[in-house]
Amino acid sequence: MAALKYAGLDDTDSEDELPPGWEERSTKDGWVYYANHEEMKTQWEHPKTGKRRRVAGDLPYGWEQETDDKGQIFYVDHINKRTTYFDPRLAFTVEEVEKPNNKQRYDGNTSALEILQGRDLSGKVIVVTGANSGIGYETAKSFALHGAHVILACRNSTRATEAVSSITAEWHKAKVEAMTLDLASLHSVKEFTEAFKAKNLPLQILVCNAAVFAQPWKLTEDGLESTFQVCHLGHFYLVQGLQDVLRRSAPARVVVVSSESHRFTDLVDSTGKVDLALLSPPKKYYWSMLAYNRAKLCNILFSLELNRRLSPHGITCNTLHPGNMMYTSLHRSWWLMTLLFNFARPFTKSMQQGAATTVYCAVADELEGLGGMYFNNCFRCLPSQEAQSETTAASLWQLSERLIQERVGRQSL
């Protein structure tokens, strides 16, 4: 494609032709990045010139630029009621963008343990759902090996206990425990939140990691399609149940693991409202891949609306894509997917690399107080247009509340 021209850039740079398969994009806050559709990756540097570029852009939602009595520019965050002399648009870039040979701090090859190198998470309490295997396990282990008190919230208590033993075998001082949580059961979610509250612990980080993929059509005990409930509604109810603990623990973060698959679907009907028939369809209209895509779109919309509602209370939420076609347990319900993932395995991220962006969103200092964003390979990028819709996010929230009220009662929200 022809490169786009942006204000403030010289014509020579803006007209550099991109290699085949590359596309130039820009973030809302003015930074240009490049997407390689063949290799399914993104980067800040122009693939030919190696230059990083910036364009003029609006401040993030809720921010305003002002000048103090000394003539210095400062920024007001009206949502979180704070001021800073640091331009929030610069939070996700390298320190010296004029030096094209500088590489970004992290990328798709970075591991979760590299993100945490030198960090002491002692005193932090972290809950990770779906943490007995795959990316969730590596996420939980990485936190635990750096001093955090980590709770593995898992459906299978036997596997969760084995995961705890594996982590403590690696470091005997690791403070890690397992608790039962079945996101396919709203009753189980409620039991988990009540059991967690009984521990009288704070909760600084909640990682909504658990998911199912390529599942045959199945209704949960709550009468909803299982992919939708496990990936979205169960986590929605979990956050509602832990919201008061998160508030008391502020500053706190919620991290939601989504996927680039969210780009290949939508959720709304002809009236612009989120359609439950799309999210929880009857068996004859069900396609497992589409169900997964829709659930992953729900993740980003949920994160957007959650951040809007809770950021004034010191709770921020971001979402992320961990990586493409990684060999986790998600695909094992369908032999064809297992074959495909086995073939792709040598070319994809390791589980440690897949956990890196989750860990980055959970602990990065530069993200303190900032949320409502989507990350890939440890840096911010734009999700689909539908995923940026505040109207759709609000509609999904209202539908999610209604579904829970109908099943467990208004007092549970």
Residues known to be catalytic? 292
Tokens 């099943």 correspond to 407
SS3 12: helix
* HEC-encoded secondary structure of 113-156: HHHCCCCCCCCCEEEEECCCCHHHHHHHHHHHCCCCEEEEEECC
Check if the beta carbon of residue 403 is closer than 8 Å to that of residue 409.
no
Vertex 384 angle, CA 281 and 397, to 5° = 50
Residue type, 193: T
CB distance 380 to 374 below 8 Å: yes
Which helix (H) or strand (E) segment holds residue 208: the answer is strand 205-208
Enclosing H/E stretch for 392: helix 390-408
96-104 contacts at long range (C-beta below 8 A, 24 or more positions apart): 97/52, 97/54, 100/45, 100/49, 100/50, 100/51, 100/52, 101/50, 103/45, 104/43, 104/44, 104/378, 104/379
C-beta separation of 38 from 19 below 8 A? no
Burial 196-216 (b: 16+ CB within 10 A, else e): beeeeeebbbbbbbbbbbbbe
Strand partners, 94: none
